[in-house]
Structure 1
């Protein structure tokens, strides 16, 4: 079935991306403003609301592992100082272990900084249940 047009009516294809399903705004034709419509609730479960990491536990674990990695760095550095260039494990092996422990200690420090900022922003508090 063909669409009948009025005689003399011009068909304007419009620009790409232009929507014609909203009323014309005060700026004139071609400039549309969307109407805000209430949307249905999309969330079906409660996980997006309550899925949060336990910042207190994470802070405790970061502190414990920071201490362990600092002690490991010191221990491997002492072992590297007292070992010679012989068969494995030798000085370079202990230096690599000390560097790895130092890197993990740095990661723990960065994690503690992030946790401190999040706790200061109030993200560590759980929402009250009703």
Structure 2
């Protein structure tokens, strides 16, 4: 039983990061402008420095014909997506700040929800005994 406590603490930290990512993701998807982007390459993440996490560099054109290239907002589970160089992706970006964008990534969203649900279930189970 005691070995579950460190797992739940780790799950709690992951759940916080997952929740912050999902909040940002859904906020952008629901209110943002859409574009089709192209993956131009991969670069090490600016977000997570503890391990090598490579994130696609995406190039897309905004409504006012401005080209943007950069890393999308992402979670630590971003590598589960199987993006390929020169692949097309759907981009959601803020009209007033197009450097803030996410790419459509169903598997990444699913895994973040799964982490939150499993952590909350573990907490309920632990304290319900």
User: Which range, TM-score by smaller chain?
Assistant: 0.3 to 0.5
Q: Give the structure-1-normalised TM-score.
A: 0.38
Which structure's relative contact order is higher, taking Cα pairs within 8 Å and 6+ residues apart?
A: 2
Which structure's residues are more often helix, by fraction? Answer: 1
TM value normalised by structure 2: 0.38
Q: Please identify the structure whose Cα radius of gyration is greater.
A: 1
